[in-house]
Amino acid sequence: MNKTDLLLQMMEQPQRYTADEWQEILADDECRELYTLMSKTQSAVSAARADEEVTDEMIDAEWQRLTNTESGDTKHFTLHSKLLKFAAMFVSILMLSGIAYAAIQIVSRNNSSPKQEVTEVAITQPSTANSQVIETDSIATVQPKLYDNVPMGEIFEELSAYYNVKVVFQNEDAPRLRLFYRWKPEYTLEKVVEMMNNFEWIQIQTENDTLFIRTTAIPATDC
């Protein structure tokens, strides 16, 4: 394999190589030139996109973002509203599970403070509960899954197999959009679609056995 082939291959997964390996390959004139050409091509595309995308509305919106969060630590400014929405979603999920937990607590407290004559019942209940847990554990091999900053393309590759549906991404950015999403096997497909649609920049429509997915956000170019 020649050096520039190696460079291209390395560029597909930069993290797999050490800093020394990178220094070494980029010290080569031919590789350095090729890399620089690609870097400038990227800059050219980014600049053209900037020319196209910056509208008066966007500038106004950015000014609003600035003046609405005017005082305080500048660090906070860089927290995009996207992140806040993710956070909000998690809080709501946590709250739901909190409520569920509280409900279990209440039920079990009722069960655990019985009078003498119902003791039998109180004892048999947990034991049936236990056996159920064991049963479901041995049957269900599908585990809940945490997608931490995973492209939608990958998430839906797995979900579509699980739910046996087809997935159509309607814009090219869609499969690259990275999500933080906690999936559980008990979710129905409708539930997943509903959760995803809670993200402002994701729109999913179901038709027969196909999900049509469209996104409105532009994911970071390095995804």
96 phi and psi, to 5 degrees? -60, -50
Task: Give the interface with other proteins as residue ranges (CB under 8 A).
Answer: 4-5, 8, 10-12, 14-15, 17, 19, 22-23, 26, 32, 34-51, 53-54, 59, 62-63, 65-67, 69-71, 74, 77-78, 80, 172-173, 176, 218-223
- What pairs with residue 204 in β-bridges? 213
Nearer to other proteins, 2 or 136 (CB): 2
User: At its nearest, how many Å lie between other proteins and the CB of residue 45?
Assistant: 5
User: At its nearest, how many Å lie between other proteins and the CB of residue 206?
Assistant: 24
Cα 28 to Cα 170: distance, rounded to the nearest angstrom = 41
User: At its nearest, how many Å lie between other proteins and the CB of residue 68?
Assistant: 11
Cα 90 to Cα 34: distance, rounded to the nearest angstrom = 44
Nearer to other proteins, 70 or 137 (CB): 70
Cα 33 to Cα 3: distance, rounded to the nearest angstrom = 12
Cα 38 to Cα 42: distance, rounded to the nearest angstrom = 6
Nearer to other proteins, 58 or 96 (CB): 58
Cα 193 to Cα 214: distance, rounded to the nearest angstrom = 12
DSSP labels, 107-149 = HHHHHHS--GGGHHHHHHHHHHHHHHHHHHHHH--PPPEEEEE
Nearer to other proteins, 176 or 181 (CB): 176
CB neighbour burial string for 39-59, b if at least 16 within 10 angstroms, e if fewer: eeeeeeeeeeeeeeeeeeeee
Nearer to other proteins, 24 or 190 (CB): 24
Nearer to other proteins, 11 or 89 (CB): 11
User: At its nearest, how many Å lie between other proteins and the CB of residue 23?
Assistant: 7
User: At its nearest, how many Å lie between other proteins and the CB of residue 131?
Assistant: 47
17 phi and psi, to 5 degrees? -115, 150
Nearer to other proteins, 14 or 126 (CB): 14
User: At its nearest, how many Å lie between other proteins and the CB of residue 27?
Assistant: 11
User: At its nearest, how many Å lie between other proteins and the CB of residue 67?
Assistant: 7
Alpha helices in the chain (DSSP H): 3-12, 19-27, 29-53, 56-68, 74-77, 81-112, 119-139, 152-163, 189-197
